[in-house]
Amino acid sequence: MPANIALVDCNNFYVSCERLFRPDLINKPVAVLSNNDGCIVARSQEVKDLGIKMAVPVHQVKDLIEQHDIQLFSSNYPLYADLSARIMHSLSAFSPTTDVYSIDEAFVDLDRANREPSELGHEIKNSLWQWVGIPVGVGIGPTKALAKLANYAAKKWPKTGGVVDISDAVKRKKIMQITAVNEVWGVGRRLTEKLNALGIESVWDLQSQPIRSIRKHFNITFAQTVQELQGTPVMSFAEPAKPKQQIICSRSFKDKLTNQQDLAQTLSVFCLRAAEKLRAQQGLARKVSVFIRTSPFDNSELYSKSAHYKLKSATHDSRDLLKITKQLLVSIYKEGYQYQQAGVVLGDITNSRVATVTQHDLFSANADQRSEKLMSTLDQINQRFNKQITLAAVDNKKLWQSVPINRSNQYTTDWRGLARVKTQ
């Protein structure tokens, strides 16, 4: 394990992406909305200072939005993903070993750089601002949990310059003593209440607890976090993500769907997306499930139903999965209801690289090879040309989505979205 780990975390990432091409919005309140523009999922500091919470429905804060002229943006995931990729690629200039934690966070092994950690932290921060235009905070410590804590301090106190190194035990103790325990990585509201009931209020209180006592009252994952706060590396570096055992693709509809054809069309799109995710992790599914349900908040009669199908041979072929999805819908659909949510679930997933997990009949080998080549070609084309190819049986109209009226241009991924420069 590296002795010096940095957590590089983008500041208000979605908002920073929007401001990158709209510098007129710097220092103004900006918020980014969820799918269907229903809730606020990202906030500038100005919006946070107004007391607007994460995930609050837009209609609940409509007065504040109008009063303070908060600029709202529909989610622009292609833009966010591209800028994230640029940031993660840029980090490779400082260390050959990085561990991407989320779309806006990555751990960096600073030992490989052979530089003074704090100095390198400032260089990373300044370089990302110059190269990509996204502000970041950098926290440095001997473990991942301590780097996360240092990053919190870097963002909490502007006087730090956005970089905090708590490798020094004295400085670490000072920060732990003034930081509430709910700021620890993975500590939510319920866990905070339980810790407070035990007299654990600050991060210092938590790291002072005997590990034996923590293991007695909490799970092993939290015990590992406490060990890391005590300076013992437990979380391995650059550990690959485990393949999902279940893949779900579902949505709630802004405008309810009433007929079977629309539901079938929507579930078909969900099925293809789930199949893409399945192939991306080199998986095969043995089980397909479909569910539909009405809103529990309507005055009308509630209807919720699901159906499942177990395949004889696991597959990741979109054609097979799509056929089953439509058959399952037929078995559970009822007329006369307004459906608000539907979804497709692929389960009992195995790894396609392990040949022994799939049993075939004598005549299936050639068909499996053709299927593999076809699905691989389909995925490659869609990755290169932004999902332009689909199956003939699927109309790619996204009936569950409203038209996003506040979405910015895809400045970096679509020629039509290129920023225009006006000259005098």
The reply to whether 11 and 100 lie within a common domain is yes
The reply to whether 26 and 90 lie within a common domain is yes
Tell me if 404 is assigned to some domain. no
Percentage of the chain modeled with pLDDT above 70: 89
Section 302-329 average pLDDT:
94
- Residue 403 or residue 415, greater confidence: 415
- Pull the structure tokens for residue 42: 């990202």
The reply to whether 186 and 320 lie within a common domain is no
The reply to whether 231 and 340 lie within a common domain is no
Per-residue confidence (pLDDT) for residue 356, from 0 to 100:
44
Per-residue confidence (pLDDT) for residue 357, from 0 to 100:
45
Tell me if 309 is assigned to some domain. yes
Compute the distance between CA of residue 307 and CA of residue 328 in angstroms, rounded to an integer.
Answer: 6
Number of domains in the chain: 3
pLDDT in tens, 19-53: 999 999 999 999 999 877 889 999 999 999 999 99
Tell me if 400 is assigned to some domain. no
Tell me if 392 is assigned to some domain. no
Compute the distance between CA of residue 131 and CA of residue 251 in angstroms, rounded to an integer.
Answer: 36
Per-residue confidence (pLDDT) for residue 400, from 0 to 100:
53
pLDDT in tens, 137-146: 999 999 999 9
- Does the structure show a pLDDT above 60 at 240? no
- Identify the burial level of 373 via C-beta atoms within 10 angstroms of its C-beta, where 0-12 means exposed, 13-18 middle and 19 or more buried: exposed
Position 382 confidence tier, pLDDT thresholds 50, 70, 90: confident
The structure's pTM equals: 0.73
Tell me if 295 is assigned to some domain. yes
Tell me if 226 is assigned to some domain. yes
Compute the distance between CA of residue 367 and CA of residue 423 in angstroms, rounded to an integer.
Answer: 59
Per-residue confidence (pLDDT) for residue 295, from 0 to 100:
87
What is the helix (H) or strand (E) element at residue 46, kind and residue range?
A: helix 45-49
Compute the distance between CA of residue 197 and CA of residue 329 in angstroms, rounded to an integer.
Answer: 49
- Does the structure show a pLDDT above 70 at 365? no
The reply to whether 186 and 145 lie within a common domain is no
Section 272-289 average pLDDT:
93
Contact 384, 49 (CB under 8 A): no
- Residue 421 or residue 47, greater confidence: 47
Contact 134, 83 (CB under 8 A): yes
Section 89-118 average pLDDT:
90
- Does the structure show a pLDDT above 80 at 387? no
Per-residue confidence (pLDDT) for residue 241, from 0 to 100:
59
Domain CATH code at residue 30:
3.30.70.270
Per-residue confidence (pLDDT) for residue 392, from 0 to 100:
65
- Pull the structure tokens for residue 36: 């269907």
Range of the structural domain that residue 212 is part of: 180-241
Percentage of the chain modeled with pLDDT above 90: 66
Of 202, 221, 241, which residue sits at a domain end? 241
Tell me if 174 is assigned to some domain. no
3-state SS, residue 283: strand
Mean pLDDT (the chain) is: 88
Of 241, 264, 285, which residue sits at a domain end? 241
Domain CATH code at residue 225:
1.10.150.20
